[in-house]
Amino acid sequence: MSDPKSTYGEPVEEPTPVDDVVGRAHEGLAEAEAAREGSAADTTDASAPDPSTTPAAPTEPDPWDSPEAASLQHDSAAAAPASAPDTAVYDKPAVAAYEPPAETVAAAPVVTASEPVSEPAAAPAAVAPQPIFVQAPEAPRPRGNRAAAGAIGLVAALAFAVLSFAVWLGLAALSGGVSTETFAGLALGTLGTWVFWVPVVAFFLAFWLLGAIINRGRWGSWVIFGLLVGFASWGGYLLGVLFQEQFWNITASRGAELMSEHLLAPLGIAAFVIGRELTIWFGAWAASRGRRVTELNVEAQREYERTLEAGPQLVRP
């Protein structure tokens, strides 16, 4: 007797769409469960027994695998009506596939060797203002009147020489020793004597020395101390007489006689008067110039004080 399995064949049930959905849902649950179990298994003790080495438990034989069960299954299939395949199958509810929640993990930036590492910009250091050194203005130097007094003394000395020459010619004319023929010789003789030039030089030196002492003084100082310039001019006349007589070749007694003869000589008195008067008039000129210099000095001092009060000024180009 032949085997009913080999004669008629075993009916095969094809999976329905519902079973396919359910199977995928179970597979997703199984994968999620396996992922959780895998993470938990990593923390278990390594000494746990390996399931692969544990002997499996004996299984009981399935009663449906026997030949009697197969014949009964064949008979029930033959007695079933032709519409058996259209028999309704219990619908199983569709189960949505389980998807594990996605965990958001902030991945740390990976810096490779090819990427430049940007260093944090250093905060700019506070720059201290640099001190600016300003040279203090110098105090104005007061101007003097000594050089001007010397220049005015040259003009006064030239006037002294002209007046002295006029006195010489006037005295010669009064004595009757001047004529048209002898005028030129007398003039050249006078200009070539020590008696004429030494008083002029003495007047200039005395005037300039007095101007250096008075400096920016008032005119009254020139009037009072002009007597000293007059005496210096008179002494210059007496010294000129000694030079004219070559005092290094004469005795002392002869020198004393010369001084006594020319002590009150008209030319000596004229030198004193001319020197005194010229000092007064040219001294007024020097005093006027000294007054202007004083005003300039005062104004310069005021400007210096205003500059100090204003403080240093920074001028940018």
Which residues are CB-neighbours of 107 under 8 A, at least 6 positions away? none
Contact 149, 285 (CB under 8 A): no
DSSP letter string, 91-138: PPPP-PPP-PPPPP--PPPP--TTSPPPPPPPPPPPPPPPP---PPPP
Least confident segment among 154-163, 171-180, 229-238: 171-180
pLDDT digits (tens, 9 = 90+) for 126-145: 667 777 666 777 788 888 88
pLDDT digits (tens, 9 = 90+) for 247-267: 788 888 888 888 888 888 899
The secondary structure of residue 290, as a DSSP letter, is H
The torsion angles phi and psi of 139, rounded to 5 degrees, stand at: -70, 140
> Among 25-39, 55-69, 70-84, 203-217, which range has the highest average pLDDT?
203-217
SS3 content of the chain, % helix, strand, coil (to 5): 60, 0, 40
Rounded to an integer, the average pLDDT of 290-314 is 84
Res 218 pLDDT > 60: yes
Higher per-residue pLDDT: 290 or 12: 290
Amino acid 85: pLDDT: 44
- The angle at the Cα of 228, spanning 290 to 273, to the nearest 5 degrees, equals 100
Amino acid 314: pLDDT: 61
Q: Return the SS3 of 184.
A: helix
Distances (CA, A) of 246 to 188, 213, 251, 255: 20, 34, 10, 10
Which residues are CB-neighbours of 153 under 8 A, at least 6 positions away? 204, 207, 208, 211, 282
Amino acid 182: pLDDT: 76
Amino acid 9: pLDDT: 46
Res 177 pLDDT > 50: yes
Q: With 0-12 CB in 10 A as exposed, 13-18 as middle and 19+ as buried, what is 271? A: buried
Amino acid 65: pLDDT: 52
Average pLDDT, the chain: 73
Res 88 pLDDT > 50: no
Res 7 pLDDT > 90: no
Higher per-residue pLDDT: 16 or 254: 254
- Give the span between the Cα atoms of 295 and 274, in whole angstroms: 32
- Give the span between the Cα atoms of 16 and 77, in whole angstroms: 21
The torsion angles phi and psi of 282, rounded to 5 degrees, stand at: -75, -25
